[in-house]
């Protein structure tokens, strides 16, 4: 497998291979990735309250989008189960689009176990991106799992990271950035520098392309949740090692080139880049806020209190602990952001757009 890298390959191609190669890629491992026994815990795995609150937030918008949902990167299917729990009566079709198609049996299993065949039959799996996306697009921790290009700042010309095999290990090779990439890096430096010599960071070209394509094909609304920053934080001179990280067994580290396909690789989302990409093709920003603010605005505490287990001494305590992790500023509450945009529909006056009015941080973008 390492022979793939006998010749140097650009870092984003390496990341694509390491995550998504159908045989050797990390996401070919299936369900073993998620949860306490896997490598990381995402919000839907942590608590059903996350997806149930999103379902509530989307109710009014769903009626304006024909009751159709497109969820990207659906993981174990838990977010789908929870959104269907609180908005299933308004959902006529729930489409799952995942580059790791191996997760379909896991997703179907969860849907059948939690909802039975009547609800599960609303769910369809799509292997390609539809040409027309009329509906609500949803994705949790998808953009951070998109390959990035990595650069190093040098006053006499920026460099780009490539990866090459030397004997039995992979090593970095730095090459002069091509003219187009160099121009992008220099523009970021002009806006957010000066950076020290050797400053490293990432540019999420593929993620921006994905946002533009989705928005071009959209008649509806997009809600994406992920960890990340706006550009001034992302490219702050002090963040001189970028945001790339490897994760294995709940431990994050920076040995990116080892255990290829056995560890997750992610980069934080540059939400200003997302905003730029959606605006360039006619998308209209509905709002940008911290995850904690978003969930509170849509009544997560009320939903929690309605759960039969909420006051149970053991199960209730765990539920409250997980709720706290979702909301707390020191945990996921602030590190994770919600960005929402629309095209071709009027979302004004819905609970979703009203809630953003009180928590909107789009001025940061
Ligand atoms: C970190 S997992 C998150 C899974 C799930 N959303 C959750 O919160 O538990 C990222 C998922 O996004 C999928 N993914 C990444 N890029 C994608 C794309 N362009 N289209 C569809 N799925 C994608 C990956 O295959 C993976 O299943």
pLDDT per position as a tens digit, 339-355: 999 999 999 999 999 99
Ligand 1 centroid distance, CA of 192 (Å): 30
Determine, yes or no, domain membership for 51.
yes
Q: How confident is the model at residue 212 (pLDDT cuts 50, 70, 90)?
A: very high
Q: Which residues of 34-58 are buried (b: 16+ CB within 10 A; e: fewer)?
A: bbeebbbbbbbbbbbbbbbbbbbbb
Determine, yes or no, domain membership for 255.
no
Per-residue confidence (pLDDT) for residue 29, from 0 to 100? 75
Q: How confident is the model at residue 102 (pLDDT cuts 50, 70, 90)?
A: confident
For residue 237, pLDDT beyond 70:
yes
Cβ count near 197 (within 10 Å): 11
Determine, yes or no, domain membership for 136.
yes
Ligand 1 centroid distance, CA of 268 (Å): 14
Determine, yes or no, domain membership for 24.
no
List, for residues 155-204, the tens digit of each pLDDT value: 899 999 999 999 999 999 999 999 999 999 999 999 999 999 999 999 99
Determine, yes or no, domain membership for 87.
yes
List, for residues 150-165, the tens digit of each pLDDT value: 999 998 999 999 999 9
Q: Which is higher by pLDDT, 213 or 253? A: 213
**What rounded mean pLDDT belongs to the chain?**
95
Determine, yes or no, domain membership for 236.
yes
Per-residue confidence (pLDDT) for residue 31, from 0 to 100? 66
Determine, yes or no, domain membership for 169.
no
Q: Which residues of 342-354 are buried (b: 16+ CB within 10 A; e: fewer)?
A: bbebebeebbbbe
For residue 287, pLDDT beyond 80:
yes
Q: Cα(8)–Cα(170) distance, rounded to whole angstroms?
A: 10
CATH number where 120 lies: 3.40.50.12710
Q: How many domains does the chain have?
A: 1
For residue 241, pLDDT beyond 80:
yes
List, for residues 15-68, the tens digit of each pLDDT value: 999 999 989 999 887 667 777 777 778 999 999 999 999 999 999 999 999 999
For residue 360, pLDDT beyond 70:
yes
Q: Which atom of ligand 1 is nearest to the CA of 34?
A: 9
List, for residues 118-141, the tens digit of each pLDDT value: 888 899 999 999 999 999 999 999
Which of 76, 99, 336 is the best mutation target for the ligand 1 pocket, counting ligand atoms within 8 Å of the beta carbon and taking the most? Answer: 99
Residue span of the structural domain in which 331 resides? 30-145+205-240+267-360
Q: Which is higher by pLDDT, 357 or 209? A: 209
Ligand 1 centroid distance, CA of 9 (Å): 23
Closest CA to 25 of 261, 262, 264: 261
Determine, yes or no, domain membership for 297.
yes
Q: What angle do CA 114, 308, 337 make, to 5 degrees?
A: 70
Per-residue confidence (pLDDT) for residue 358, from 0 to 100? 85
Cβ–ligand 1 distance for 99 under 6 Å, the answer yes
């Amino acid at each position: 497998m390492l022979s793939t890298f006998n010749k140097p390959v650009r870092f984003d191609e390496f990341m694509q291979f390491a995550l998504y190669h159908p045989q050797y890629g990390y996401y070919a491992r299936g369900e073993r990735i998620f949860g306490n026994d896997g490598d990381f815990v995402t919000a839907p795995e942590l608590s059903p309250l996350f997806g149930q609150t999103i379902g509530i937030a989307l109710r009014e918008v769903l009626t304006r989008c024909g009751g159709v949902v497109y969820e990207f990167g659906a993981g174990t299917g838990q977010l789908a189960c929870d959104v269907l729990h609180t908005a299933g009566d308004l959902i006529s079709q729930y489409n799952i689009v995942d580059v790791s198609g191996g997760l379909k049996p896991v997703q179907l299993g969860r849907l059948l176990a939690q909802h039975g065949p009547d609800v599960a039959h609303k769910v369809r799996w799509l292997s390609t991106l539809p040409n027309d996306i009329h509906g609500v697009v949803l994705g949790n921790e998808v953009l951070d799992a998109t390959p990035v290009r990595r650069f190093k700042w040098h006053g006499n010309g920026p460099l780009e990271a490539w990866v090459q095999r030397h004997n039995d290990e992979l090593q970095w090779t730095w090459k002069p950035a091509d003219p187009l990439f160099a121009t992008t890096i220099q523009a970021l430096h002009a806006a957010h520098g000066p950076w020290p010599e050797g400053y490293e960071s990432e540019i999420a070209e593929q993620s921006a392309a994905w946002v533009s394509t989705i928005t071009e094909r959209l008649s509806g609304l997009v809600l994406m949740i992920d960890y990340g920053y706006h550009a001034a934080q992302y490219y702050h001179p002090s963040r001189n090692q970028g945001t790339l990280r490897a994760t294995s067994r709940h431990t994050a580290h920076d040995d990116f080139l080892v255990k290829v396909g056995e560890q997750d690789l992610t980069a934080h989302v540059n939400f200003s880049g997302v905003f730029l990409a959606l605006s360039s093709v006619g998308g209209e920003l509905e709002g940008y806020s911290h995850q904690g603010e978003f969930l509170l605005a849509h009544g997560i505490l009320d939903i929690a209190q309605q759960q039969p287990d909420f006051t149970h001494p053991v199960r209730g305590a765990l539920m409250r602990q997980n709720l706290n992790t979702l909301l707390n500023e020191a945990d996921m509450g602030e590190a994770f952001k919600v960005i929402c945009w629309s095209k071709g529909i009027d979302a004004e006056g819905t609970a979703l757009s009203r809630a953003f009015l009180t928590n909107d941080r789009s001025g940061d973008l």
